[in-house]
Structure 1
């Protein structure tokens, strides 16, 4: 009797489990566009099959785009990754993405960020990137003034000083003709620029030999490189050795940063004491903003009697690590892509040269351009008038967005979005929501038949109010820094820096791709093959690897002005 009861219980339980799994796999999300799911594996197996059909190291956004295209380009696509993680809803339409990133009744500062525990070794556990609610508001309020346009312009001399080192490297490479990874050059440049802004120190990053770089640069690079593998999105228990390695490298970075912050705090206290000795205790007006983000963060010590508490030290280091990550990675990848796209598009390259000639005068070298941009009166106006240069950067960010945002609507929140195509309303609770800008930025409904082409002119047409016949690009369709209350706090810093780099470098050097993505040449003439769309044909397509410009890409560089009239050679990928 007991055996019969036990067998009956096992049978009924098995039936219930099978029905529950069937419901979860085939019924619960049936209204969402998706690939055919497997009862046991959901979409894991078919996703793996699609991944195997192309380059195995390509970024996940490429795979999402391929699947999205195969399904007829719906506004959303569901990926059921259980039991690895919660189902992921890839947002492929900018109007739906806007509903997620903007304020709503349920979420005043937009849908909450997805937990970033896997990034804790890089950004810490109190980062502005992962903070929510009042903690996030307080951090944002602290740092917003520092990223204002007026303050950022005061950083121009230090930015230009770092670019001078970059130009010196390009000069040496143009003489030697050596092949070099442009991403490495731009990454080192951005390390120097953002490092000076964050810490007010020389990070000594611009060396091709890593052993010659500063300690923090080497440690941070080691940590970042521990993330660039094909298992980056798997839970830690699938790769415990790698997880431990990241934790160890993260602790090393944290120790170095704590040492820097302590030293800066001591220097700050010493300066205050010197001022008191010199001026007595007479109150004197202080500058509105300190010269570095570190000192801005240390203003919180006024609430602790000048004492740098362990809690404040850790929180400060977490924010500095976050800004170091975002401040060097996205701009460096964008610059590399911009130089590559210009090298493939002679029309755009000529337009950049013409605009810069008009602003700075034809034939002026990099030093003269830096002098003009460093002028407090002339510099801001010159940056504002770089209309085509800005269009090049916007188009580069459209085709090659450096990052997207992932959100999570908790179960029971009742968060609903409306699909623009059908008007259907869907509840997105307990789903990971991934605003895939790589798909949104190629939307033919917005960007037309040239959605996959590099065409900076589209942004000039979009901003021309008199040109009423041209297609209007909705602001929400361009979201490389994401949008809404939690848009990237450092986007203006990135845009200014990239414009300055292009202004100094674009007329002086021309980059030619070597290896993957190299220009195809006519067998009889040896000249590049110009396509009907005004771009040069290439032997193979360059692609992104885990958010990075393909790491094995190399370029050669030659001074453009020095070889004027000759076939110049040149070298050269996160929201808060």
Structure 2
């Protein structure tokens, strides 16, 4: 009897499951702009096919851009990633992106972060500020904000310059030898040294010529990051051995950080008791007022350090690499940058002379007067944003966005990806030069690249006045209350590094993106005022968006 009931029930169960799958695949998000999904694989197969049309290991943003183009560039696009992941909505409009990042009655601290951040848990820690929510997140942000305040960061110029001196030594070595350099590796090591010194006041020894000479912490960290290279988007249980290796390396890194935090806490306590000078590194500032270093506080602090170390070195190193590339193929822009630096620092381009003026009493003023250099940085961040953001509204929350043409879409239960690369190249905003390197578009624009301008926009929603472009159309640090805590550090250190390096060295691309020379071996300008290249540079997906081939360059001392 039971066997017969089971036999009769099987078709009913199968029919129900088939109907449920059919609804989820074809009906649940049917009103969203999307390419035709597969019954079994959703849009995974389509994404794979579009990826194969591009160069090897290309980042997913250009792939999504091509898919959106096929649909007529809608303000958002649905991509069904099931069964590999959650369904996803790719946002391509700055108007929609603003609705996701700003505060609302439903989400007082903006739309929650996506649970897919859990894929990075071994890298940033389970208590990372990136994964915290609501009031819990607010208190953690408040605790660490003082260490990233612009007026405090300006006091750390000597530290940034000290680390830049080591970077210059490497550039000199490559200039003397004539060998090509993996510029991205050099810039990332530089920014790792800076973030280590600023967050913990320790020398992480990241800039040694040989990796064998680097400190153990750096070697462990590089091994861990390498296990996140070339992501396939599949869940962790598909690669259990890799996940175990990540776990083991993460625990070793935790042991190093725990020792540093305990030593720093004891140092802070001693200074507070003796009335000594206030500490200047982020870790010490974050530990002030904490008499007891409880296990919970230790773990929470450790995970913030892991987050700051990763985000603070990776994205800034990528920005520097793209800056040197764009300057190397844009002679007019490079000359304007050098002219501005000559006016600010005098005609002597020697790094020592620049250092002396930056450390003088008016050094902060000189940094704030780099208006054209700031425009160059902002334009590079527009074209090559190093990172993006993913959010998710819980199912049943009723989170709805409105597109510019008046349509409403409920985004509950889907990954919401603000595709900065697509948003920041929108022809409706940036015109025919949307894909071109034009720093001048930012001159006279009210917002620079510091967080103060973004905060003003977030509070007032003001897009008029001195605004030349919609503020939400530029979002490399994202926007809203959960914007990047370290954006001021990144933009200050990049301006300092460029002030020291841009007039002292020339960079020549080799490999992909190298210059297309004429019959006399001279570079040729195109109609956009840039040197023609034999091939195009592009970003790969390695957690963040990194330039292909590590941005291979030859370095020359400027004559």
Is the pair's TM-score, using the shorter chain for normalization, greater than 0.5?
yes
For structure 1, list consecutive stretches of 5 or more residues without a partner in the other structure: 276-283, 564-576
- The residue number in structure 2 matching 1:452 is 435
Q: 1:363 to 1:299 in 2, by over 3 A?
A: closer
Note if 1:37 corresponds to 2:37: yes
1:497 is matched with: 493
- Structure 2 contact 33–74 (Cα < 8 Å) conserved: yes
Corresponding residue number in structure 2 for 1:433: 416
Which deviates the most, 61-70 or 316-325? 61-70
Deviation digits for residues 298-332 of structure 1, max 9, x if unmatched? 22532x3xxx2222211111111111111101110
Rounded Cα–Cα distance in structure 2 between residues aligned with 1:270 and 1:477: 48
Deviation of 1:78 after TM superposition, in Å, equals: 0.6
Distance 1:193 1:10 in 2: 63
CA contact (8 A) 1:223 1:246 kept: yes
Alpha-carbon offset, residue 164 of structure 1: 1.3
Larger radius of gyration: 1
**How do residues 544-555 of structure 1 correspond to structure 2 at under 5 angstroms?**
544-546=539-541, 547-555=545-553
1:507 matched to which residue of 2?
A: 503
Q: CA deviation at 1:133?
A: 1.6
1:140-173 per-position Cα deviation (integer Å, ceiling 9, x unaligned): 1111122111111110111111111111221222
Q: Deviations over 1:262-310 (max 9, x none)?
A: 222333345556x3xxxxxxxx5x65x52112212322532x3xxx222
Q: Which position in structure 1 is the counterpart of 2:280? A: 291
Alpha-carbon distance in 2 for matches of 1:223, 1:124:
13
What is the distance in 1 between the residues matched to 2:260 and 2:8? 67
Q: Provide the residue aligned with 1:172 in structure 2.
A: 173
What is the CA–CA distance in structure 2 between the aligned matches of 1:476 and 1:298, rounded to whole Å? Answer: 35
Contact 1:417 1:426 survives alignment (8 Å)? yes
Q: TM-score, with normalisation over the residues of structure 1?
A: 0.90
Partner of 1:424: 407
Distance 1:397 1:125 in 2: 29
1:121 and 1:246 in contact (8 A); partners too:
yes
Secondary structure of the 2:37 match is coil
What do the CA deviations read for 1:86-111 (whole angstroms, capped 9, x no partner)? 10001110110000000001100000
Structure 2: 5+ residue stretches without partners: 448-463
Query: Deviations for 1:472-503, whole angstroms, at most 9, x for unmatched residues?
Result: 31011000000000000110110000000111
Tell whether the 8 Å contact from 2:184 to 2:550 is kept in structure 1 after alignment. no
Which whole-Å CA distance do the structure 1 matches of 2:220 and 2:311 have between them? 16
Stretches of 4+ aligned residues off by more than 6 angstroms: 1-4
Mapped contact 2:146–2:285 kept (Cα < 8 A): no
Aligned counterpart, 2:472: 476
The reply on whether 1:367 has 2:352 as its aligned counterpart is: yes
User: In structure 1, the residue corresponding to 2:72 is in which secondary structure?
Assistant: coil
Does structure 1 residue 349 correspond to structure 2 residue 334?
yes
Does structure 2 conserve the Cα–Cα contact (< 8 Å) formed by 1:293 and 1:320?
no
Q: 1:359 to 1:366 in 2, by over 3 A?
A: same
What is aligned with 1:396? 380
1:487 aligns with 2:488: no
Alpha-carbon contact 2:185-2:550 (below 8 Å) kept: no
| C-alpha contact (below 8 Å) 1:57/1:230 kept by paired residues | no
2:370 pairs with 370, 381, 386, which one? Answer: 386
Matches within 5 A, 1:99-248: 99-115=99-115, 116-231=117-232, 233-248=233-248
**1: CA distance, partners of 2:2 / 2:147:** 73
Count of aligned pairs between the two proteins: 538
Alpha-carbon distance between aligned partners in 2 of 1:552 and 1:110, rounded to the nearest angstrom: 35
Q: What root-mean-square deviation, in Å, do the aligned CA atoms of Structure 1 and Structure 2 show? A: 1.9
Alignment TM-score, normalising by the size of structure 2: 0.93
